[in-house]
Amino acid sequence: MPSEKSTQNALKGHKARITDTILRDSHQSLLATRMRTEDMLPAAKMLDRVGYWSLEVWGGATFDACLRFLKEDPWERLKTLRKAIPNTRLQMLLRGQNLVGYRHYSDDVVKKFVERAAKNGIDVFRIFDALNDLRNLEVAIRAAKETKAMVEATICYTTSPVHTHEGFVEKAKKLVNMGADTICVKDMAGLLTPWAAYDLVAKLKATIDVPIHIHSHGTSGLASMSYMKAIEAGAEIIDTAISSLSSGTSQPPTESLVAALRDTPYDTGLDLALLDEIADHFREVRKKYKQFESEHTAINTKILVSQIPGGMISNLANQLKEQNALDKMTDVLDEIPQVRKEMGYPPLVTPSSQVVGTQATLNVLMGERYKVITSETRSYFKNMYGSPPGEIDEKVRKLAIGDERPITCRPADLLEPELDKLTRELSSKTKSIDDILTYALFPVVALEFFEQREAGTLEPEPLEQTEKPEGELQSVRHLAPSEFNVTVHGESHNIKVAGAGHKVEGKRPFFIMVDDCLEEVVVESLTEVLPTTAGEIERSSVAESSRPKARKDGDVTTPIPGKVTSIKVTKGQSISDGDVVLTVEAMKMENEVHTPISGIVKRILVKIGDTVNPDETLIEVEAE
C-alpha cells in the first residue's frame, strides 16, 4: 500500500503538531462536560508552556453545560482562559449554523456569535455540519474570515454505502475554496482505521495545500494507530488529551503520542516531564467528578457497528440508567444503524446523533418502530437540518411528514433576522451583547441564569461527596418526583412527566414534556421506581376524563396526549387491523391512530376537539 509519495513523506518528515482537548472534548466525553473553570486554571500556566499547536477550550457542549449545570458564564470562562493562556492558540468547536446550540440560528446571530467569540479569545474556529451540507458552513466561515481567526473547516468522517474518500476530498476542495486555512477530519466516533486514515490523508494531500488536522476518539481502540498512519501520509496536526483524561471515548493520550513520535522525523518536540506534571493535576481533578463517569466510556468495539460518537454513548447510558432501562442499551445500539440507514446515513454527531439516538431509543422503548416520531425526526425528513448524504427511506419519510414536501433551500434561508428582536426583549435585563447571544441560544436557561446572577444566587450543581448507596429508594430520591434532567451527548433537557399511558405487559408508558414543550415523548416503566408519582399521575388522568380506561385488545388508545382532529370511522363500520380510525394533534403535528385489531366499530367515545390521554379508550372495536 505505501506509495512512492509516502516514502518521500517519511523521508522528508514534518514536525507533527498537537491540539490538546483536555479543556473541552476530553471532559465532554468522559465527565459529561462538567469540568469547572476553577479546575482548569491551576494548569493554565503549564498548558501555555507546552507549545501545542492549539488548545481546544470552548464550544461543543461546554457552553450549554456552563450555563445549565455549572452556573458559569461561558463567555467569562473564555475571557478568563484567554488571560491565563496568552501564548497558545485557543480553539473552539462550532456546529456551523447551529453554533453551540441544537437548531439553526439566523445569519445575523451566527455572524455576531463568531465575531464575539473571536473578540473574547478564540484563534481557531473548527466549523462543521453534521450532514456535511456545506451550505450550513457558509455564513460561519465567512464570519470567521472577517475576524483575524483561523478557519478550520471540517469534514465529519463516517463510513456508509454512500460515503467515499473521493467524496470527502471533493468536500475538502470546496471548503478550501470557501476560505479554509486548515481542514479537519472529524472522526467523532473513532471509526477511522489506520489504513483508511492513510488513504484519506494521502488523497487530501494530493489535492489540497492546507494543513490536515485529524480529530478522533479512542472509542474503538484505533485512534492512536490511525494517527500514526495519518501523520505518515502527511497529516500535520492531531488531537490528543492529557493522559489522565484520555482514551476510551476521549482522545488518545498526549504523552503516548509524543513519546511514539520522538526521535522520528515527526518529533513533536514537546516536553514529557511538563506533560506529566499536567497529567498529575487532572488526575486529581478527575476524582472530583466521579459521579459523572459512566461505565460506557471504556473501549468498546461495538462502536464499529453502531457508530455512536464518543460523548453520546456515555450520556445515553446515563439517561437509560436514570430511567431504570439500562438493560435496553443493547437494543438501542442495535436500532441505531437501522434508523440511520432510513435517514440516508447521516454521520452521527450533534445534532444528528441526537435525532437518530432519540428516535432509536423511542423505537425500542415503545416496542414498535416509529409508533412515536419526534419533532426532530420530522424536521430531519423535511430537510430542515440540510440535505441527507444518501437516499432516505420514503416509507419512513411518509410516516414522519405525510405528503409534505421537503425543503430544497439552505435551512437558514427560511429564518428571519433575530438579533434586534432579542435585544429588545432583553433590554430591561441586560445590554451586554454576549448576554444577548446567550439568550439567543438558550432562552429559558439564560433567563434563569441572568436572574440568579442578578440576585447573587448562582450555585453550581452539587458534587456528591460520598458514594451513593445502591437501591431503589436512592433512585426515587435521585429522580425527584416528576421532574428531572436528562443529558444526551452533553446536551441537557428539563423533563417533566406529563402523563401516564396504558399498561401493557406490566409496563406503563410515561409521557414527558421536554423543555416545557411536549416535543419528545419518552416511554418507560417507572411504576416500580416511582410508586408515588405513578399513582398521582394515574389518578389525575383518570379524574380528568369520563372515558373508560383501555383494557381490551380492541380498545383504541392514543400513543400521546393531544387533541382529536378527525374521526375516520363510523359506528358499525368493519375495519382491518392497522386502519386509521382517527387523528390526534400533538407536538403541533397530526398523528394517525390505528386500530390494533380487525373488527366492527362498536362505540365511538370521542368527538373532534376532545383532549385525549393515552390511558383512555377512544374507540371500541369488537373482533368479528
Q: Which is nearer to Mn ion, 109 or 188 (CB)?
A: 188
CB atoms within 10 A of CB 454: 11
Q: At its nearest, how many Å lie between Mn ion and the CB of residue 261? A: 21
Which one of 24-32, 75-83, 350-358, 365-373 is the stretch in contact with Mn ion (CB under 5 A)?
24-32
Among 25, 56, 138, 342, indicate the residue that binds Mn ion (CB under 5 A).
Answer: 25
Q: At its nearest, how many Å lie between Mn ion and the CB of residue 246? A: 13
Mask for 470-509, x = binds Mn ion (CB under 5 A): ----------------------------------------
* Residue indicated by cell numbers 452539587: 462
Q: Which is nearer to Mn ion, 31 or 495 (CB)?
A: 31
Which one of 81-89, 111-119, 180-188, 557-565 is the stretch in contact with Mn ion (CB under 5 A)?
180-188
Q: Which is nearer to Mn ion, 242 or 364 (CB)?
A: 242
Which one of 18-26, 106-114, 535-543, 548-556 is the stretch in contact with Mn ion (CB under 5 A)?
18-26
Q: Which residues of 231-251 are buried (b: 16+ CB within 10 A; e: fewer)?
A: bbbbbbbbbbbbbbbbbbbbb
Sign of CA dihedral 130, 134, 138, 139: negative
Query: Which residue has the CB atom at the shortest distance from Mn ion?
Result: 25
Q: Which is nearer to Mn ion, 80 or 300 (CB)?
A: 300
Do 150 and 123 form a contact (C-beta atoms < 8 A)? yes
Q: At its nearest, how many Å lie between Mn ion and the CB of residue 216? A: 8
Which one of 11-19, 172-180, 185-193, 362-370 is the stretch in contact with Mn ion (CB under 5 A)?
185-193
Q: At its nearest, how many Å lie between Mn ion and the CB of residue 353? A: 11
Q: Report d(CA 64, CA 504) in Å as an integer.
A: 37
Q: Which is nearer to Mn ion, 70 or 188 (CB)?
A: 188
- 389-408 residues near Mn ion, rule: CB under 5 A: none
Supply φ then ψ for residue 69, to 5 degrees: -110, -40
Supply φ then ψ for residue 257, to 5 degrees: -65, -40
Angle, helices 310-322/352-365, rounded to nearest 10 degrees: 30
Burial of 536 per CB tally in 10 Å (0-12, 13-18, 19+)? middle
The footprint of Mn ion on this chain (CB under 5 A) covers a number of residues equal to 2
Q: At its nearest, how many Å lie between Mn ion and the CB of residue 583? A: 41
Q: Which residues, 6 or more positions from 558, have their beta carbon under 8 angstroms from its beta carbon? A: 584, 586, 591, 593, 612, 613, 614, 616, 618
Distances (CA, A) of 38 to 42, 57, 285, 449: 7, 14, 10, 19
Mask for 138-177, x = binds Mn ion (CB under 5 A): ----------------------------------------
Q: At its nearest, how many Å lie between Mn ion and the CB of residue 26? A: 9
Q: At its nearest, how many Å lie between Mn ion and the CB of residue 217? A: 6
Which one of 4-12, 112-120, 134-142, 183-191 is the stretch in contact with Mn ion (CB under 5 A)?
183-191
Q: Which is nearer to Mn ion, 25 or 610 (CB)?
A: 25
Among 183, 188, 526, 569, indicate the residue that binds Mn ion (CB under 5 A).
Answer: 188
Do 35 and 256 form a contact (C-beta atoms < 8 A)? no
Reported as half-sphere exposure (CB side, CA atoms, 13 A), residue 613 has a value of: 25
Which residues does residue 494 pair with via DSSP β-bridges, in sequence order?
A: 485
Which one of 181-189, 421-429, 454-462, 583-591 is the stretch in contact with Mn ion (CB under 5 A)?
181-189
Q: At its nearest, how many Å lie between Mn ion and the CB of residue 287? A: 23
Closest CA to 24 of 46, 41, 40: 40
Do 520 and 374 form a contact (C-beta atoms < 8 A)? yes
Q: Which is nearer to Mn ion, 211 or 218 (CB)?
A: 218
Which one of 25-33, 165-173, 524-532, 558-566 is the stretch in contact with Mn ion (CB under 5 A)?
25-33
Closest CA to 110 of 417, 383, 410: 417
Which one of 19-27, 355-363, 376-384, 550-558 is the stretch in contact with Mn ion (CB under 5 A)?
19-27
Q: At its nearest, how many Å lie between Mn ion and the CB of residue 25? A: 4
Supply φ then ψ for residue 386, to 5 degrees: 125, -175
Q: Which is nearer to Mn ion, 128 or 450 (CB)?
A: 128
Strand order in the sheet with 611-612: 589-594, 580-586, 562-567, 611-612
Q: At its nearest, how many Å lie between Mn ion and the CB of residue 252? A: 12
Q: Report d(CA 64, CA 438) in Å as an integer.
A: 9
Which residues of the chain form contacts with Mn ion (CB under 5 A)?
A: 25, 188
